[in-house]
């Protein structure tokens, strides 16, 4: 007997609904990367249930995209982390760059040298391995998703941003004290949304500009619907500018301005190109100028926390720049095998100069590429370089010849990933589970379709 329509429909819908549950759980439970946060335990337990469900769920008849490369990259990253947890004999361990200094602990205690792994902090490296659970659950759900839900992901992404934006407004207005769930450390009086860190919140909102542009351009074959979406996207984009400035994140504001410029240039304004040649350039100039004019008005009103922090602080005196020589010394000392994923904070404390001692501590390098090299060594950086190469390869024009729709998705995915990476040059947003799950959207858009497209961009 053929399956009942209700059961067949549930089989198609379940992976999409499970993905929504992973997004919601990561938003409410995964707004921080601190290892002492109890909410992360609940999130990881939920992901441990979602992953086998996604793996065991039957593959759809019409899968949306092939996520082999991102899943393979995650598997390789998990292997790289796992290798750092394998105990090594004393002769090998003490010969590793940067490790001989720590071998003195056993000598001073009068114990024989034990077998130890590459990681100087195995418990924190195990934690780094567990941080892969949310994005793994998200990608596995997307791999099982039916093709007809593909366009809905754009709406889901924008809805998550809208809720994050609403929370930010309530937080700045004093009607909401931090994220929905209480964390131990948060940036108070800032529009941080679901996050505990203003820089992470600002970068997330900045990624909304190219996604809004994608949402508009998906209606490019319907001029009337395109105009309606363009108006709504312009209003939403203008609404994000003051909230980003209210986060107090200088790097986030910079990323947002870059995102606006890229979003405006990622595709032609097709329905408006039929207008007079004289009016069209002025429209593009006006669209580019409005966000900057709005930013100027907000700055003059004194509400721009990001600008206030730039004007009120000497960037050259930032601790991140002051401690850069120390971080580079750590890189040289532990290269090429690294000190162990998650070990930056304890290892940095050993090498921290007396002049840098303060009431606050330096929990990360605030440059994730540099920290990846320090803790993960050359193997981790090689994986990062391979991922970057794949992203560039996926957005080459030759990969999407004849498919405008596929090119738009790939460009958006690459731009969103690039914005997250840009934010990682001065902070560590991709160490936060919620940010990782939002990154899964971009990786999905960047992957090739599971079925071919015709010249019009329609799925066959």
Coil, strand or helix: which one is 88? strand
**Do residues 442 and 412 make contact, with C-beta atoms less than 8 angstroms apart?**
yes
Contacts of 382 by beta carbon, 8 Å cutoff, 6+ apart: none
How far apart CA 150 and CA 271 sit, in angstroms, is 24
Give residue 452's pLDDT.
58
Q: Which two tokens stand for residue 180?
A: 């929905």
pLDDT of residue 349 exceeding 70, the answer is: yes
Beta bridge partners of 453: 459
Expressed in percent and rounded to 5, the helix, strand and coil fractions of the chain are: 65, 0, 30
Domain ranges for the chain, please list them.
10-84+119-149+319-460, 151-313
Q: Which two tokens stand for residue 415?
A: 């731009």
| Cα 36 off chain centre by | 21
Read off the pLDDT of residues 288-308 as tens digits, 9 standing for 90 and up.
555 555 555 555 444 445 445
Give residue 293's pLDDT.
57
DSSP letter string over 341-360?
TT-HHHHHHHH--GGG--SS
**Do residues 366 and 319 make contact, with C-beta atoms less than 8 angstroms apart?**
no
Between 454 and 200, the more confident residue is 200
Give the start-end residues of each E strand in 210-289: none
How far apart CA 447 and CA 409 sit, in angstroms, is 9
Between 182 and 253, the more confident residue is 253
**Do residues 113 and 44 make contact, with C-beta atoms less than 8 angstroms apart?**
no
Read off the pLDDT of residues 204-241 as tens digits, 9 standing for 90 and up.
999 999 999 999 999 888 888 888 898 899 889 888 98
Give residue 445's pLDDT.
95
Between 6 and 53, the more confident residue is 53
SS3 readout for 48-84: HHHHHHHHHCCCCCCECECCHHHHHHHHHHHHHHHHC
Read off the pLDDT of residues 439-457 as tens digits, 9 standing for 90 and up.
999 999 999 987 654 444 4
Give residue 299's pLDDT.
52
Segment 364-383 mean pLDDT: 90
Q: Which two tokens stand for residue 342?
A: 């998650």
Give residue 275's pLDDT.
42
pLDDT of residue 418 exceeding 90, the answer is: yes
Q: How confident is the model at residue 284 (pLDDT cuts 50, 70, 90)?
A: low
Query: pTM score, two decimals?
Result: 0.87
Q: How confident is the model at residue 270 (pLDDT cuts 50, 70, 90)?
A: low
Read off the pLDDT of residues 324-334 as tens digits, 9 standing for 90 and up.
888 888 899 99
Q: pLDDT above 90 covers what percent of the chain?
A: 44
Contacts of 149 by beta carbon, 8 Å cutoff, 6+ apart: 13, 16, 64
Segment 96-112 mean pLDDT: 80
Out of 143-147, 191-195, 277-281, 346-350, least confident range: 277-281
Ramachandran sector of residue 184 (left: φ over 0; alpha: ψ -120 to 50; beta: rest) = alpha
Please, what is the average pLDDT of the chain? 83
């Amino acid at each position: 007997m053929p399956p009942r329509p209700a059961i067949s429909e549930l089989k198609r819908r379940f992976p999409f609904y499970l993905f929504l549950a992973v997004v919601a759980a990561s938003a409410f439970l995964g707004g921080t990367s601190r290892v002492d946060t109890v909410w992360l335990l609940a999130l990881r337990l939920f992901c441990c249930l979602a992953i086998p469900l996604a793996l065991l769920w039957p593959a759809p008849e019409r899968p949306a995209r092939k996520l082999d490369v991102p899943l393979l990259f995650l598997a390789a990253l998990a292997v790289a982390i796992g290798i750092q947890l394998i105990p090594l004999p004393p002769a090998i361990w003490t010969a590793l760059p940067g490790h001989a200094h720590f071998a003195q602990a056993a000598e001073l205690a009068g114990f024989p040298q034990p077998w130890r792994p590459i990681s100087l902090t195995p418990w924190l490296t195990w934690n780094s391995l567990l941080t892969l659970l949310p994005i793994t659950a998200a990608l596995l759900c997307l791999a099982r998703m039916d093709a007809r839900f593909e366009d809905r992901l754009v709406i889901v992404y924008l809805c998550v941003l809208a809720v994050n934006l609403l929370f930010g407004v309530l937080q700045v207005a004093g009607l909401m004290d931090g994220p929905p769930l209480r964390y131990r450390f948060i940036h108070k009086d800032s529009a941080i949304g679901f996050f505990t860190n203003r820089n992470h919140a600002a970068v997330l909102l900045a990624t909304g500009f190219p996604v809004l542009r994608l949402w508009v351009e998906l209606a490019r074959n319907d001029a009337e619907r395109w105009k309606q979406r363009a108006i709504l996207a312009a209003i939403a984009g203008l609404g994000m500018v003051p909230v980003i400035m209210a986060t107090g994140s200088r790097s986030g504001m910079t990323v947002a301005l870059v995102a606006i410029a890229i979003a405006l240039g990622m595709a032609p304004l097709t329905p408006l190109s039929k207008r007079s040649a004289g009016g069209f350039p002025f429209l593009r100039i006006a669209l580019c100028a409005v966000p900057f004019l709005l930013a100027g008005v907000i700055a003059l009103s004194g509400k721009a926390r990001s600008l206030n922090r730039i004007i009120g602080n000497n960037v050259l005196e930032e601790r991140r720049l002051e401690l850069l020589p120390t971080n580079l010394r750590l890189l040289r000392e532990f290269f090429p095998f690294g000190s162990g994923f998650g070990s930056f904070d304890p290892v940095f404390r050993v090498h921290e100069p007396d002049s840098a001692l303060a009431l606050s501590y330096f929990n990360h390098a605030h440059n994730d590429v540099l920290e990846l090299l320090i803790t993960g060594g050359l193997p981790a950086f090689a994986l990062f370089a391979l991922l970057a190469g794949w992203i560039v390869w996926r957005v080459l024009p030759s990969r999407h010849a004849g498919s405008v729709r596929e090119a738009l998705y790939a460009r958006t995915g690459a731009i969103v990933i690039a914005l997250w990476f840009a934010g990682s040059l001065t902070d560590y947003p991709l160490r936060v589970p919620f940010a990782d799950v939002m990154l899964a959207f971009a990786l999905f858009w960047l992957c090739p379709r599971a079925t071919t497209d015709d010249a019009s961009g329609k799925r066959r």
